[in-house]
Amino acid sequence: MFIKKKTNMKKILVVAIALIALFGCNNSKSEKELMSKTDYFVESLQTTYQSYGMQGIENALYTSDGNYQIIPIGRLINVKIMNSDYDKSYTELKETLTKHYKGDFRVNDVYICNAGTIMIDCRN
C-alpha cells in the first residue's frame, strides 16, 4: 500500500511539473513577443517618428496568441490585455514592463493609466 501511494504521488508530481512548464512557457513566449513589439515602437519613436499622432490605432499590433494589443498614441505606447481568461494582471504586467525598460533612456515611465491599461511613456 505504501509503495502504491508513493507511485501515485510521483505521477501527480510529474503531471504538475508538466502543467507548470506548459503554461509557464506559454506566458513567457507571449511576454517575449510583447516585449519585441513594444521595443519596435520605442525604437521607432527614437529613430523614425517624432510622434504617431492620434491615429495610432492604424498601427496597432497584437501578439500572435491574442493576449495583448499594443497601440502607439503620440509618444505613448498603450498595452492592453485582450484575453479576459489570461492570468496576468495589469499590476504584474506593469512590473514586467518596468523591469524590461529599467535603465532605457528612451522610456520615461511605465504606468497604469486611468483607463486601466498600461502606458509606456516615451515623451521627450
Q: Which has the closest alpha carbon to 116: 98, 94, 83?
A: 94
The torsion angle over the Cα atoms of residues 29, 35, 41 and 46, rounded to 10 degrees, is -140
Q: Where are the domains of the chain?
A: 2-121
Global model pTM greater than 0.85: no
pLDDT tens string 40-90: 999 988 888 888 887 777 889 999 999 999 999 999 999 999 987 666 789
Strand partners, 110: 120
First vs last C-alpha separation in the chain = 69
pLDDT tens string 79-114: 999 987 666 789 999 999 999 999 999 999 999 998
